[in-house]
Chain A
Amino acid sequence: MRTPRERHVFAVLGAVLLAYLLYPFFAFFSGTRGADVTGDLRSPETQEAVVNSLVTAPVATAIAAVFGVPLAYFLARAEFRGKGVVEAVVILPLVLPPVVGGSMLLMGFGRFTTVGGAAEAVGVPLTDSLVGVVLAQTFVSAPFVVITSRAGFSSVDEHLEQASRTMGHGPVATFWNVSLPSARSAVAAGVVLTFARAVGEFGATMMTAYNPRTMPTRIWVDFIAGGIDGVVALSLVLIVISTTVIVAVQRLEKVPTVRD
């Protein structure tokens, strides 16, 4: 962009989108003054939903990170036949409508399936349970940690790892001491984004675990029962969590934020 005038064109066009993005927030905060936020937050149903979300989302995030970070590293370093297919599988849950993902999870883990039936028999139902919530959250949120971490690992100079190996460190020690610390900003950002996606998950969770309620499913139930005023309290909680996530991600650098 050579001149200020050229910059203005981009700024004006961008401002249109920015206004559209901000308008719902403005409308939400100005149109819901009649809501009993404090009272709603004190209700047992709301508190249960908050607890359920804050229990399941970290578990889903941990599962996605424990298995997703190694997958990300493998994809960043290995060349093999069918790599494109593996990458497509990783991205698929991102582009798939969550309710479709939820339907597939039901067909794979529902109580009338082999896996779901066996789990239920030992007292661990995979649907309509907190485990079901975790399954849905992990399915839709795991791609974030894999994709972001993979980008981080790809940017780490392979010579660092090769130098570590020649010093006498094995591949695991090299990953732990060199690769992971070098890509830690991207990995951490991936974990934070995964948590954000998991805590806000609705579509797939509706299919696999309508009960027990998480914050998003509680919002839906409250909306159906009491209209827009009934969802303000939990929406505010989710907005606070999302805002915290954005700040965390921006502080972690080198991540897909709007900051340079």
Chain B
Amino acid sequence: MLEVRNLTKKYGNEAAVKEISFVADEGEFVTLLGPSGCGKTTVLKAVAGLEKPDNGKVLLRNEDVTGTKPEERNVGIVFQSSSLFPRMTVRENVEYALKPHVTDRGERRERAEDVLGLVKIAEKADTYPDSLSGGEARRAELARALSYKPDVMLLDEPLTGLDRALRTEIRDEIKRIQVETGVTMLFVTHDQEEAISVSDRIVVLNDGEKEQAGTPRRLYRRPETRFVAEFVGESTRFDGVVEEGGKGVRLTTGAKVGVNGRGEGDEGNKASVYVRPENVELEEGDHNNVFSGEVVEVTEMGSYAEARVETERVGEVITKVDGFSDVREGEDVVVGFDDSDAIVVADDA
């Protein structure tokens, strides 16, 4: 459905995007994830035809649309800030979007009502944008962009500026609409939780370059670069040198962490080992990486708490425990994790 091939965009001498390539299949929910200024919005605008790339191609339905104007592409877009037309009601906004695609006025009205119903904003059809709440405005924009059945929907951080509850509500709504309509979505966000929760596939960008693309599970469990390991999800990092044919990593502290062959091929190379907090337990169990230490900080998050344990042999280790549990700062504990849960990223990655 959508293919971005070797896309490069420069502003002056500065490359905002360098040789980015990825594909979004029909009906797929693909997310461009990265920190502010990584080039994700530039990619989105190039797909929409709002930015002209210096190099590379954008293909929609296997057709090269790189040189075409935005109005010739059949894409829908929802921006970070509201782009509803202030002098039109919600219904007029949608009907205006339908105008180039549907010539019959009656059909336009009918389709507008259908799509407003789909995004659950029908009761605000005759309301002007300045009287809508943040959530309603987002729904109206989604309806408008969906109304003419675009080949691909582009969402540029559409949850920015909404409170936490509304973010979750609109995020789930976007996913529901995508599943119900089967529209291909390209979603841009800097929020890794948001990306993981809605995406079929995530493309991680950093400093204008693609770091890694894959399913949320793949990115979380098997990050291929240091940036992805640290940007997607939280973890404890240990630095060392791969040994034993990739079965272990000797840390700079002298201790060894078993990594179950994850360092294969990197024997003798410097590498970092990452362990997710939910894979670390405050008990010895039958884990093959066990270290004793002291709880130095407990941060309550409600449904869970994050405990930081200072160990003598491997330094600080972060673990998740039940919310408002009995774990106390100053308590002597052991932390354990399986070597199969270790993520190894070579230093040159």
Determine the distance from Cα of A172 to Cα of B99 in the docked complex, in whole angstroms.
Answer: 15
B77 and A162 contact, CB distance less than 8 A? yes
| A157 touches which of B70, B76, B77, B83 (Cβ 8 Å) | B83
Interface residues of A, dominant DSSP: helix
A11 within 8 A of B: no
What residue of chain A has the Cβ atom nearest to residue B101's Cβ? A168
Determine the distance from Cα of A165 to Cα of B50 in the docked complex, in whole angstroms.
Answer: 9
| B85 touches which of A168, A170, A182 (Cβ 8 Å) | A182
| A166 touches which of B49, B81, B85 (Cβ 8 Å) | B49
B97 within 8 A of A: yes
Write the B34-70 contact mask toward A (1 if CB under 8 angstroms, else 0): 0000000000000011100000000000000000011
A165 and B79 contact, CB distance less than 8 A? no
B71 within 8 A of A: yes
| A169 touches which of B49, B74, B87, B100 (Cβ 8 Å) | B100
A162 and B70 contact, CB distance less than 8 A? yes
A22 within 8 A of B: no
A160 within 8 A of B: yes
CB distance from B203 to the nearest CB of A (A): 21
A237 within 8 A of B: no
Chain B residues contacting A177 (CB-CB under 8 Å) are 85, 96
Chain B residues contacting A167 (CB-CB under 8 Å) are 71, 76, 96-97, 99-100, 144, 148
| A160 touches which of B70, B85, B154 (Cβ 8 Å) | B85
B contacts with A, residue count (CB < 8 A): 27
Given contacts A157-B83, A160-B85, contact A166 B76 (CB under 8 A): yes
A165 and B71 contact, CB distance less than 8 A? yes
Determine the distance from Cα of A166 to Cα of B70 in the docked complex, in whole angstroms.
Answer: 5
Determine the distance from Cα of A168 to Cα of B96 in the docked complex, in whole angstroms.
Answer: 10
B73 within 8 A of A: yes
Of residues 8 through 65 on chain A, the ones whose CB sits less than 8 Å from some CB of chain B are: none
A contacts with B, residue count (CB < 8 A): 17
| B48 touches which of A162, A169, A184 (Cβ 8 Å) | A162
A166 and B75 contact, CB distance less than 8 A? yes
A7 within 8 A of B: no
A97 within 8 A of B: no
Determine the distance from Cα of A179 to Cα of B253 in the docked complex, in whole angstroms.
Answer: 63
A166 and B86 contact, CB distance less than 8 A? no
A170 and B87 contact, CB distance less than 8 A? no
Indicate the member of B49, B75, B87 with the most A CB atoms within 10 Å. Answer: B87
Interface residues of B, dominant DSSP: loop
B79 and A182 contact, CB distance less than 8 A? no
Chain A residues contacting B99 (CB-CB under 8 Å) are 167-169
CB distance from A189 to the nearest CB of B (A): 16
A178 and B85 contact, CB distance less than 8 A? yes
What residue of chain B has the Cβ atom nearest to residue A161's Cβ? B83
Chain A residues contacting B69 (CB-CB under 8 Å) are 165, 170
Given contacts A166-B73, A167-B100, contact A157 B50 (CB under 8 A): no
B100 and A166 contact, CB distance less than 8 A? no
A5 within 8 A of B: no
| B50 touches which of A160, A162, A182 (Cβ 8 Å) | A162
What residue of chain A has the Cβ atom nearest to residue B50's Cβ? A162
Determine the distance from Cα of A184 to Cα of B49 in the docked complex, in whole angstroms.
Answer: 27
Chain A residues contacting B145 (CB-CB under 8 Å) are 163, 166
CB distance from A128 to the nearest CB of B (A): 45
Chain A residues contacting B81 (CB-CB under 8 Å) are 157, 159
Given contacts A162-B50, A166-B75, A167-B97, contact A182 B87 (CB under 8 A): yes
A-B contacts, 28 listed (Cβ < 8 Å): A160-B85, A162-B50, A162-B70, A162-B77, A162-B79, A162-B83, A163-B83, A164-B85, A165-B49, A166-B48, A166-B70, A166-B73, A166-B76, A166-B150, A166-B154, A167-B71, A167-B99, A167-B100, A168-B97, A168-B148, A169-B96, A169-B100, A170-B69, A170-B71, A181-B87, A182-B85, A182-B86, A182-B87
Q: Name 11 extra pairs, CB < 8 A, besides A166-B75, A169-B96.
A: A157-B81, A162-B50, A163-B77, A163-B83, A165-B49, A165-B50, A165-B69, A166-B71, A166-B150, A168-B71, A170-B71
